[in-house]
Homo-oligomer: A and B are copies of this chain.
Amino acid sequence: MSKPIIAVYAITKDWQLEEIKATARDYDVRVKDEIRPEDLKNIEIVYGWGSELSENIADLKQLKWIQKDTAGLDAIPESLRKDKDILLSNMSGVHAVPITENIFGYILGVARGIIPAMTSQLESKWDKSIASNMFSLKDKKVLVYGTGSIGQEIARTAKFFEMTTYGVNSNGRSIQTFDHTYTMESSQKILSDMDFVINALPLTDESELFFDKQIFANMNDSAYFLNIGRGESVKDEHLIEELEAGTLAGAYLDVTSPEPLPESSKLWQTQNLVITPHISGNVEHFRDTIYPIFKENLDSYLSNGTLAKNEYNKKKGY
């Protein structure tokens, strides 16, 4: 009988491939180009994914674990995503640090007058009045919707800058790095105290269009809104109204709906709004960043059949 196959579709470095082979001696480790149609039935583990796998699901009779090489799992057919007998893991955590760096690039940019000064600079203007709205982050309050890996990294960084951290999750359970936690509903009552409100939620029925007039109206005029979750969670017209009326100090959107944002969108020229083109999760050395996660899960899988981290929650859908 043939050895079970580990199919490597994710981009990997040579030393990484050698290490996988040395770790999984009872397996046949094959990269994408070495996998023939007759091998599909022997695949037990997939690192990454390929469209030829989606097209031949029926052949994947031995498949037990897919370690996707991205945060999103959209590329994997729904029947496999929902199959209780297949372990599924993603790379969601690897984006936590880069996304947090974007968050703080914006937060420090507005708090320390850099983003306002870039506007004065267009007019060659030395505008000292910018200083009157400047502040340090110490003791400022940040509320993060979503207390997963991204929310936790945002909170950890906020604590470095001595901010007070508030988190929102489904049942308001405590999460380390957050000083206080709330449910979606109970978070409403603290909105007016917040200096920064950040959406880091995945798109679900509950988060769709959640950030609307009611939320923005509850926020302080001097507060900032940031979205690195999904564009579909924000009611754009309401955000534009608040920013143009000056009842929100500013906003940062790394995600929009739709993407790419069309040139005709009013968002582009809305005052005190900064838009980046869904790039905050960008990781420079992607292969070096994702491989350790696969390796840790591989070690765990080989020793006891479970995954050490990043397992997809089939019930919650993220």
Contact = CB atoms under 8 A, between A and B. Distances in A.
Nearest to A125: B263
Interface of A: 97-98, 101-102, 104-106, 108-109, 111-115, 117-118, 120-121, 124-128, 130-131, 134-138, 157, 160-161, 252, 259-261, 263-265, 268-269, 274-280, 282-284
A136 B98 contact: yes
A116 B87 CA distance: 40
A101 B136 contact: yes
A121 B279 contact: no
A184 to B, nearest CB: 28
Given A112-B280, A128-B279, 16 more contacts: A98-B112, A101-B112, A102-B113, A105-B105, A105-B114, A113-B276, A113-B282, A117-B276, A117-B279, A124-B263, A124-B265, A128-B277, A128-B278, A131-B282, A134-B282, A136-B284
Contacts of A160: 157, 160
Contacts of A137: 101
Contacts of A278: 128
B112 A102 contact: yes
